[in-house]
A = this chain, B = another copy of it.
Amino acid sequence: MRILILGAAGMVGRKLTEALLAEGTLAGETIEAIDAFDVVAPDVSNVPDGVAVNAQAGDIADEATVAALVAKRPDMIFHLAAIVSGEAEADFEKGYRINMSGMQHLLEAIRGQEGVYRPRLVFTSSIAVFGAPFEDKIADTFLAAPLTSYGTQKAICELLLSDYTRKGFVDGVAIRLPTIVVRPGKPNKAASSFFSGIIREPLAGQEAILPVDDEVRHWVASPAAAVGFLLHAATMDTDLLGPRRALTMPGLSVTIAEMIEALRAVAGDEVAGRIRREPDAVIEKIVAGWPRDFDARRALEAGFTADRDFQSIIRAHIADEAVRAGGQS
């Protein structure tokens, strides 16, 4: 089996590549080749014998580049490449070029292949397709009314994916990822950065700033759960989905207070005491416009599984960091 991963250098893309290489098979077939593509060449390590990994840098908005990747006729395509919400909002043209035209080139390249070719295409969408006002628990039948260009681009990609699938050109699944917590690494400028920061920094002995109220509720999943969603989307029986190929992934709906209590339970009072409250009206306003809770029934019925609880998410992060620290020594 040949696998193409678009966006393989990102956090989830790296973890997906690692998981595929560690497993060696997907849907019962031996993985023979992985094309790992991103705007910078992905750094792929621990490649077992017999697997050809081609790490390549390029522009997904370039039609010829995408056509050349698809011409290798991968059996499985993961499309994770995107510029993030903040950048798509700041640079309107770049957002549409990368986040929308990239998908259009990909779908057209697949449709343009000669002979019988209908690969599985797993696309990472986002809960940013939803915009306030919401239902209390957003159902699978709630409208996509995004309030960002990023969310608009993801919603358009979902529509295209369902239509190309319905016409038989591709076998697509779009999975709407919750906010990923705990992201490893450094804080960034995303308004959502603190959701990871208030766990990651205290565990690393550092102070973390909490800019919103303790009662703020959000929809989260661990990096490991995200990889699990991708692998399940790649191997599931898509006939179960019918023509609606976009699914809200099952996350955990947790408040900041619940997150802090989980941190206290796992790591103790001293660690939980490293969170400093510093309300920020701008961030509070942004976060107030985000979805808080979902009834992700279709995904659950299709066999996608959420994290067990927030304590498990913290423990998995601690274990991952220990592996990382070991690997870097």
**Interchain CA distance A135-B143 in the complex, whole Å:** 13
Pick the residue among B92, B145, B147, B162 that contacts A152 (CB under 8 A).
Answer: B162
B-facing residues in A163-190 (Cβ within 8 Å) = 163, 166-167
Q: What mask results when residues 315 to 326 of chain A are scored 1 for a CB within 8 Å of chain B, else 0?
A: 000000000000
Q: Chain B contacts of A159 at CB under 8 A? A: 144, 146, 152, 155-156, 159
Q: Chain B contacts of A143 at CB under 8 A? A: 140-144
**Interchain CA distance A33-B244 in the complex, whole Å:** 45
**Interchain CA distance A135-B162 in the complex, whole Å:** 20
Pick the residue among B140, B145, B163 that contacts A149 (CB under 8 A).
Answer: B163
Number of copies: 2
Q: Chain B contacts of A244 at CB under 8 A? A: 131, 145
With both chains docked as a complex, state the minimum distance between the C-beta of A131 and any C-beta of chain B, in angstroms: 7
**Interchain CA distance A159-B152 in the complex, whole Å:** 6
Pick the residue among B141, B145, B156 that contacts A243 (CB under 8 A).
Answer: B145
Q: Is the CB of B162 within 8 A of A145?
A: yes
Q: Chain B contacts of A142 at CB under 8 A? A: 141-143
**Interchain CA distance A67-B131 in the complex, whole Å:** 32
**Interchain CA distance A156-B163 in the complex, whole Å:** 11
Q: Chain B contacts of A144 at CB under 8 A? A: 143-144, 159
With both chains docked as a complex, state the minimum distance between the C-beta of A271 and any C-beta of chain B, in angstroms: 41
User: Within 8 Å of chain B (Cβ to Cβ): is A160?
Assistant: yes
With both chains docked as a complex, state the minimum distance between the C-beta of A146 and any C-beta of chain B, in angstroms: 7
Q: Chain B contacts of A243 at CB under 8 A? A: 131, 145, 147
Q: Is the CB of A160 within 8 A of B152?
A: yes
Q: A141-B142, A143-B143, A145-B243 are in contact. Are A160 and B156 (CB under 8 A)?
A: yes
7 contacts between A and B (CB under 8 A): A140-B143, A142-B142, A142-B143, A143-B144, A144-B159, A146-B162, A156-B159
Closest 8 CB pairs of A and B: A152-B163, A145-B244, A143-B143, A152-B159, A156-B156, A141-B143, A155-B159, A149-B163
